[in-house]
Amino acid sequence: MVAALKVGVAGLGTVGAALIAQVARQREALAARCGRGIEIVAVCARSRAKDREIDLNSMKWFADPVALARDGDIDVFVELIGGAGDPAKAAVEAALASGKSVVTANKALLAKHGVKLAALAEKHRVALNFEAAVGGAIPIVKTLREGLAGNSFERIYGILNGTCNYILTRMEQDKMPFAECLKEAQRFGYAEADPTFDIEGHDTAQKLAILASLAFGTKVDQSAIYVEGISSITPADLAAADELGYRVKLLGVAVKTPKGIEQRVHPTMVRKDSAIAQVMGVTNAVTIDAEGINPLTLVGPGAGGTATASAVLSDIGDVARGVRTAPFGLPTARLTAVRKAPMQRHEGGYYIRLLARDKPGTAATIAKRLAQQEISLESIVQRHPKDGAGAARKNGSVPVILITYATSEDAVRKALAAVGRDSVISGRPQVIRIEKN
């Protein structure tokens, strides 16, 4: 048997601790499955004193992750520090440059510096694996990189942020407003004290940039993604979606269009009977449309110490078995630059919720403005709230829900601007894109 693979782990939070525990528990099985043992020989974290309920005695301790990354005693450097900057970046670069394979769960680092790091890995002929960076335990990186290596992709989309999906689920099931659900998510530890990164879609965008690169051979580039969060969604939207056979999910979508790869993150209406619409709570899911595969959906835990550690361990196992795949599927020289999708040119169906002034001619005016932009309607729902039932009615307005057939975002924006100028609606119209699935 080959000598054991020696692993250095930087970052001993929940994932790092779970990884060390799992390697200890599965020592025998791992050796059998990978053809050689896997040993964590060195670790690095900010505090040595902290009680992590794991035995670190047999491991060399480093205070500096870069020093660990360069240590001659390790074969693989596992980066669980997080963040797009140093010390994570410096440590990963140091490891790759000194000929060590790297396993990382760091989506921010990859979304920002992925191409450069991949090129470095290529140059030194080492692996750069990051299954844990997207979708936790869902083996989506492996599926795209290896499992569908011979396929031509049409589209990939997913629920990539558990916080947002938890909030949307609670809002839908319990008719609670956004702010209240967010507070609850924070209480349960599903949302950060500063939730902006999650709820405004940036976390999803980082993950989408990685998936898009794997599927379409684009250069990972978070700045090429149109991003819109979920804070404007109301229980009324979710109820209307339900009635029309849809659910609202925050999706990251990358899709091949005649104008190039369109990457976008926004609240999306998905058909209620689709696999992805069933995904509730903090669970993640990714759906792939490829040649002959319409669709393939992977659903699983997107976070959590053990789930994430399991993905990290799978990556380490690949290194142990001598597998080295181009980090983003293709040699970096073949990855293509991608421009930010101009959303005005996005084409699809739209859900539009308006508060229409309850007076003669309103419906005709709205209909005319849509017709002027050649927008056809699949359905219109207008219900006069029961007497005394709603503030809307008191203000002399009634909610109108429109579902359009495929049209362009530009047309929708222009039509709604005109309707606004006509003074037949109150407030801002709510617009949610419909994803065909």
Is 326 one of the binding residues for a second copy (CB under 8 A)? yes
Is 4 one of the binding residues for a second copy (CB under 8 A)? no
Is 390 one of the binding residues for a second copy (CB under 8 A)? no
What is the helix (H) or strand (E) element at residue 248, kind and residue range?
A: strand 246-257
Tell me if 95 sits within 8 A of 87, measured CB to CB.
no
Listed residue (124, 17, 8, 131) closest to 77, CA to CA: 8
Q: Are strands 38-44 and 60-62 parallel, antiparallel or unpaired?
A: parallel
From 137, 265, 269, 415, residue interacting with a second copy (rule: CB under 8 A): 137
Distance CA 205, CA 198 (A): 10
* 3-class secondary structure, 167: helix
From 20, 299, 352, 415, residue interacting with a second copy (rule: CB under 8 A): 299
Q: Exposure of 79 by Cβ count < 10 A (0-12 exposed, 13-18 middle, 19+ buried)?
A: buried
Buried b or exposed e, range 359-396, using 16+ CB within 10 angstroms: eeebeebbeebbeebebebeeeeeeeeeeeeeebbeee
From 56, 298, 343, 418, residue interacting with a second copy (rule: CB under 8 A): 298
Is 302 one of the binding residues for a second copy (CB under 8 A)? no
Q: How big is the site for a second copy, counted in residues (CB under 8 A)?
A: 61
Is 148 one of the binding residues for a second copy (CB under 8 A)? yes
Question: Which one, 171 or 412, has the nearer CB to a second copy?
Answer: 171
Closest CB 32 distance from a second copy, rounded Å: 5
What DSSP designation does 200 have?
T
Instruction: List the x/- string, 181-200, binding to a second copy by CB under 8 A.
Output: --------------------
Is 337 one of the binding residues for a second copy (CB under 8 A)? no
Is 306 one of the binding residues for a second copy (CB under 8 A)? yes
Listed residue (83, 127, 103, 139) closest to 322, CA to CA: 127
Closest CB 159 distance from a second copy, rounded Å: 12
Listed residue (287, 341, 286) closest to 137, CA to CA: 286
Is 318 one of the binding residues for a second copy (CB under 8 A)? yes
Is 13 one of the binding residues for a second copy (CB under 8 A)? no
From 72, 189, 258, 292, residue interacting with a second copy (rule: CB under 8 A): 292
Closest CB 353 distance from a second copy, rounded Å: 27
Closest CB 167 distance from a second copy, rounded Å: 19
Listed residue (231, 260, 248, 254) closest to 158, CA to CA: 254
Q: Which of 6, 100, 112, 207 is the catalytic position?
A: 207
Closest CB 222 distance from a second copy, rounded Å: 23
Question: Which one, 151 or 382, has the nearer CB to a second copy?
Answer: 151
Tokens representing 359?
């007076």
From 12, 117, 250, 290, residue interacting with a second copy (rule: CB under 8 A): 290
Question: Which one, 37 or 195, has the nearer CB to a second copy?
Answer: 37
Helices (H), 6-64: 14-25, 27-34
Give how far Cα 12 sits from Cα of 44, 81, 298, 347, Å.
Answer: 7, 8, 28, 45
Active-site residue, 207 included: yes
Closest CB 124 distance from a second copy, rounded Å: 16
Is 25 one of the binding residues for a second copy (CB under 8 A)? yes
362: CB partners within 8 A, 6+ apart: 356, 424, 425
Is 235 one of the binding residues for a second copy (CB under 8 A)? no
From 201, 300, 349, 399, residue interacting with a second copy (rule: CB under 8 A): 300
Question: Which one, 133 or 415, has the nearer CB to a second copy?
Answer: 133
DSSP string of 382-429, one letter each residue: E-PPPTTT-HHHHTTEEEEEEEE-SEEHHHHHHHHHHHHHTT-EEEEE
* 3-class secondary structure, 121: helix
CB atoms within 10 A of CB 210: 26
Is 330 one of the binding residues for a second copy (CB under 8 A)? yes
- Interface residue list for a second copy (CB under 8 A): 18, 22-23, 25-26, 29-30, 32-35, 131, 137-139, 142-143, 146-152, 273, 275, 278-280, 290-301, 304-307, 309-310, 313-314, 316-318, 321-323, 325-326, 329-331, 334
Catalytic annotation, residues: 207
